């Protein structure tokens, strides 16, 4: 039988505290080793929150980690070099390049039909966070994409 513990950790900085320690300890699992394995697996995402599933086979005590993709918000914060989105609508939180938005869209699992549509979803997140894209309002960039202005970014890309 397997038991799954879902946690969100900062890349490379998991600890044996809650929720991991209290969940793994009673099962007789070496929490320190699991934390070390999580930190090794998430080290490349330093400064970002990463979803991790710790799957424990309760019969054999074997542990398997499933490291998820960082949320789009975390990827955008890293690209923009900010710690959080805008606190008000009047002052932008930062600026990201459209190329970076397309790169993030290509990492995202979505139901959208194609990279253009996924990119527009990420641009919507930029808008919600108060980020500008290439110095413009993300809504204006969406209009440009709809008008075909940035088609070269999507050439040869298949969803």
Q: Which of 47, 67, 87 is the last residue of a domain?
A: 67
Tokens at 108, concatenated: 């995202």
Q: Is residue 159 part of a domain?
A: no
Is residue 31 domain-shared with residue 17, that is, in the same domain?
yes
Q: Could you tell me the pLDDT band of residue 89, with boundaries at 50, 70 and 90?
A: low
Q: Report the C-alpha gap between 103 and 56 in whole angstroms.
A: 34
Q: What is the pLDDT of residue 143?
A: 95
pLDDT tens sequence across 51-74: 999 999 989 999 999 998 888 888
Q: Are residues 96 and 146 in the same domain?
A: yes
């Amino acid at each position: 039988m397997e038991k799954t513990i879902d946690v969100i950790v900062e890349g490379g900085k998991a600890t044996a505290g809650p929720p991991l320690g209290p969940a793994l300890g009673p099962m007789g699992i070496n929490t320190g080793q699991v934390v070390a394995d999580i930190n090794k697996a998430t080290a490349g995402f330093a400064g970002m929150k990463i979803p991790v599933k710790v799957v424990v086979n309760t019969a054999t005590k074997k542990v398997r980690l499933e490291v998820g993709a960082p949320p789009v918000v975390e990827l955008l914060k890293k690209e923009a070099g900010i710690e959080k989105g805008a606190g008000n609508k009047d002052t932008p939180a930062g600026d990201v390049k459209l190329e970076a938005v397309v790169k993030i869209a290509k990492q995202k699992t979505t139901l959208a039909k194609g990279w253009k549509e996924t990119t527009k979803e990420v641009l919507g997140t930029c808008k919600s966070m108060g980020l500008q894209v290439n110095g413009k309002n993300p809504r204006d960039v969406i209009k440009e994409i709809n008008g075909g202005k940035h088609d070269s970014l999507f050439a040869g890309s298949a969803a």
